[in-house]
Chain A
Amino acid sequence: MSGELLQLTSVTKSFGAVRALKGVSFSLKAGEIHALLGENGAGKSTLIKIITGAHQPDSGRIEIDGRDTGALSPRIARELGIACIYQQPALFPDLSVAENIGLRLSQANVFSRVDWNARRQQAHRLLENIGAEISPEAEIRSLSMPQQQLVEIACALGAGARIVIMDEPTASLTQKETHLLFAIARELRKRGVGMIYISHRLEEIFQLADRVTVLRDGESIGTNRVDEMNEAALIKLMVGRDVSAIYPPAENEPGETVFSLKNFSCERGGVRDVSLDVRAGEIVGLAGLVGAGRTELARAIFGITPADSGEMLLNGQRIEIHSPRDAVAQGIAYVPEDRRRHGVILEMPIAQNMTMAIHRRFFPGTWLRFGAEKNLALEFIRDLSIKASGPDAPASSLSGGNQQKVALARWLAAKPKVLVLDEPTQGVDVGAKSEIHRIIRSLAKNGLAVLMISSDLPEIIGMSDRIAVMRSGTITSMLPAKSEAHTVMAAALGQKAAGE
Chain B
Amino acid sequence: MKQLFSSLLLAAAVAFFSGCNKNNEAPSSGASTAGNSKPGKKLTIALLPKSKGNAYFISCQKGAQKAASELGDELIFDGPTDTDPAKQNEIVENWITLGVDAIAAACENKEGISTALRKAQSKGIKVITYDADSLPDARTFFVNQATPQGIGYALMDQAAQLCASNANFAIITASLTAANQQEWQKYIEEDRAKNYPNMKMVAVKPCDDLKDKAQSETTALLSTYPNLKLIMAICSPGVPGAAEAVKQAGKAGQVKVIGLGLPNENKMYVHEGVTQAVILWNTMDLGYLTVYAADAVARGNLKPGDTSFKAGSLGTFEIKGDNILLGKPFVFTKENIDQFDF
A adjacent to B, CB under 8 Å: no
Interface of A toward B, CB cutoff 8 Å: none
